[in-house]
Amino acid sequence: MKSTVLWILVALNAILLVLFTGQFNHLSTAEAQFRRPSDYLMIPGQLNTGPPSLVYIVDTTTGRLGALAYDDSSHTLMTMPAIDLNRIYNEKR
């Protein structure tokens, strides 16, 4: 009985040693971002028709505009497809 408990403790300590040394064994690699995170501008707004209030979201890095509105009656979040503002402003010039 004592030898069984002893071998179980030896095996457990060996497993713990392997797990402990495994923490220091892997290579530490640096990962760079391919593109910096976007900056967002959020503007509250209201419409005369449709939902009572909405939030316009402008991604200033990519130049895209989207909107979100919460519908109280159906408890859903309505989204507007994103618009490319760069394309719109370049057409008007």
pLDDT in tens, 36-56: 677 899 999 887 876 568 899
What is the distance of C-alpha 52 from the center of its chain? Answer: 28
- Spell out where the chain has E strands: 40-45, 54-59, 64-71, 76-84
Q: What is the mean pLDDT of residues 7-30?
A: 81
pLDDT digits (tens, 9 = 90+) for 51-85: 568 899 999 888 999 999 888 888 889 899 999 99
* pLDDT the model gives residue 43: 93
Bridge partners (DSSP) of residue 78 are: 69
Rounded distance between C-alpha atoms, residue 62 and residue 42, angstroms: 15
Tokens read off for 24 = 């220091």
* pLDDT the model gives residue 28: 62
Q: What is the mean pLDDT of residues 22-33?
A: 65
